Structure 1
């Protein structure tokens, strides 16, 4: 009897939920990834290690639902992704079978991230790209230097030219922010890549300002929703005079967060005159002037680094968080929970952004004429002491 004709039994491997033999909880990266992605990665590993061999039938959806504690829809989505990547083939009335690996040439991709090393979200995004199951037969290269803003942009443009000379198959591009000449530099690099016919996937942000949209695929988060949710959270916590704190020359993502902040205030309080403050939040004199003028009892910070700098200054001025001012940020960087008052923030699933980016890149290379896409990865509200509602921890 052939392997494909034998009755299938579920393999006794540890479930992705972390509740199998040995107990324990999944890692932060694993727990924050969608269940269909975890099922996909588990089955992919079993296919690649020979647990399931070419031509062999995978367990039925019902058995996998039981194994992973998942719904039929979730398991079906994992199967669809395996089929999309030509790893399995579904035979109506028979089941799902492992495909014979096709000969695949290795592709070379470049990372073009001027703010790598200075913006905390990009390192885990890069890790997500590299650990994507779809990236295992391909290579990824990047360059990074700790330079001032002008030299950093020049070095990034030189790196862009190197990628073109090397004829890489695609580039993951995160347009720079904060630098005074960022718009011109971002446009130049995008135009160079487009003229060279190199596929581009944008990470986190577009270089076009709203309502404009570039002709490149992009993966990030819903920044308008992020600003709305954090403002709504502070309102529920009892704050009434809420500021939005932003660093000068920030990216277009911050503009979307401001729009969400304004909409949340408008829905809750009507035309209440939302206040956006931009400046040096490490300058105690400037911060004191802001406090005297606006008398805020809540502050939505454009990101965690802004929150960290502002909180340090507030502490030096004798302002208590959250007793005097409630604060929230965005990103959930590694140090957010170690600030003088642990920071309530919206966690970006950076690893998932990286994995999705690689999937988008490969699909763009397979179908270069398909419409431009924008994929938004969901965020999670992480409630800590800075908002004054840590006992009501929840996720969105």
Structure 2
């Protein structure tokens, strides 16, 4: 993993330097996730670009830990509310336990979704156990271990993990949603076409993209204006994976 991270870091800094040499005026940047030093790398690239008077609009999430602000423009959905909404999807079924599965090195997007999941349980009088939050791993006995530990209702930090988990559990002989209910984020094409269909939060990418461009145009015309934090609404698509 370390060598892969080093390659990503080196190539990303090279791309940033290329933009500087090409005299680019603005860059849209999605913070690095799924790597141990993603926050530091994102911060380094932003500072490098800003030092050359290149404007940056963040896509999807800030890179600083909540409640600290990155201090630059941001376009995203409200990931905290999205995590809260998925938890409510289970709690409205009178469930008393919900589990959250995420990657080993979650970015701020995932952390906000996890905080929303956690807060929904607290608000409804349920004290989540630390054992209800899991790091995703591929294991031949994953399904048996989850079942033994009382896991039933699962929120995955994104569709990619949700779909891998679903396939893994099905391969081990478990049924979705009879044995496990699974939901994710992103409403990817595969979430819509897999069997069973995956319950997922949809991000309105067209609105987010258009808004990001509008904010960048405004930023280029007025570099010293107050940073804009734009949070779009989202849609929960309920499918058979949680029925």
TM-score exceeds 0.5: yes
Answer yes or no: is the 8 Å Cα contact 1:239–1:297 preserved in 2: no
Listed as ranges, the gaps of 5+ residues in structure 2 are: none
The alignment status of 1:257 with 2:113, answered yes or no, reads yes
Q: 1:338 aligns with which of 157, 177, 193?
A: 193
Whole-Å Cα distance in 1 between the matches of residues 158 and 90 of structure 2?
15
The CA distance in 2 between the partners of 1:302 and 1:203, in whole Å, is: 17
C-alpha spacing 1:155/1:246, structure 2 compared with 1 (3 Å): same
2 CA distance for matches of 1:348 and 1:160? 27
**1:238-290 CA distances to partner (integer Å, 9 max, x unpaired)?**
4332100111111101111111101111122332436211131x323345323
Q: What's the counterpart of residue 119 of structure 1?
A: none
1:169 aligns with 2:11: no
Where does residue 77 of structure 2 map in the other structure? 221
**How far, CA to CA, are the matches of 1:260 and 1:176 in structure 2?**
21
Q: What are the Cα deviations for residues 293-326 of structure 1, in whole angstroms up to 9, with x where unaligned?
A: 2x11200111101100111111122221111221
For residue 278 of structure 1, what is the aligned residue in structure 2?
135
Partner of 1:289: 145
Once the two structures are superposed, residues 92-129 of structure 1 have per-residue CA deviations (whole angstroms, 9 ceiling, x without a partner) of xxxxxxxxxxxxxxxxxxxxxxxxxxxxxxxxxxxxxx
Cα deviation for residue 383 of structure 1 reads 1.1
What pairs up with 1:187-336 in 2 under 5 angstroms? 187-273=43-129, 275-280=132-137, 282-293=138-149, 295-336=150-191
**Cα distance in 2, alignment partners of residues 237 and 303 from structure 1:** 22
Deviation digits for residues 196-234 of structure 1 (CA, Å, limit 9, x no counterpart): 111110010111111111121000010010000001001
**How many aligned residue pairs are there?**
240
Unmatched segments (≥5 aa) in structure 1: 1-146, 389-396
Q: Secondary structure at the match of 2:56?
A: strand
Once the 2 structures are TM-superposed, how far is the Cα of residue 340 of structure 1 from its aligned partner? Answer: 2.7
In structure 2, the residue matched to 1:381 is: 236
In 1, Cα distance between equivalents of 2:214 and 2:48: 23
TM-score, normalised with respect to structure 2: 0.93
Q: Which string of whole-angstrom CA distances, capped at 9 and with x for unpartnered residues, describes residues 69-99 of structure 1?
A: xxxxxxxxxxxxxxxxxxxxxxxxxxxxxxx
The structure having more radius of gyration, on CA atoms, is 1
Change (3 A) 1:238 1:324: farther
User: Are the counterparts in 1 of residues 104 and 135 from structure 2 also a CA contact under 8 Å?
Assistant: yes
Contact map agreement 1:332 1:346 (CA 8 A) in 2: yes
Distance in 2, Cα, partners of 1:380 & 1:225 = 11
Question: Per the alignment, in what secondary structure is the counterpart of residue 6 of structure 2?
Answer: helix
Partners of 2:100 and 2:140 in 1: how far apart? 17
Q: 1:376 to 1:270 in 2, by over 3 A?
A: same
Q: Trace 1:1-396 onto structure 2 (pairs within 5 A).
A: 148-273=4-129, 275-280=132-137, 282-293=138-149, 295-388=150-243
Cα distance in 1 for partners of 2:108, 2:153 equals: 23
Equivalent pair of 1:218/1:373 in contact (CA under 8 Å) = yes
Query: Taking structure 1 as the reference length, what is the TM-score of the superposition?
Result: 0.58
Structure 2 CA distance for aligned equivalents of residues 360 and 343 of structure 1: 33
Deviation at 1:175, TM superposition (A): 1.2
Residue 183 of structure 2 contacts residue 200 of structure 2 at CA under 8 Å; is this kept in 1?
yes
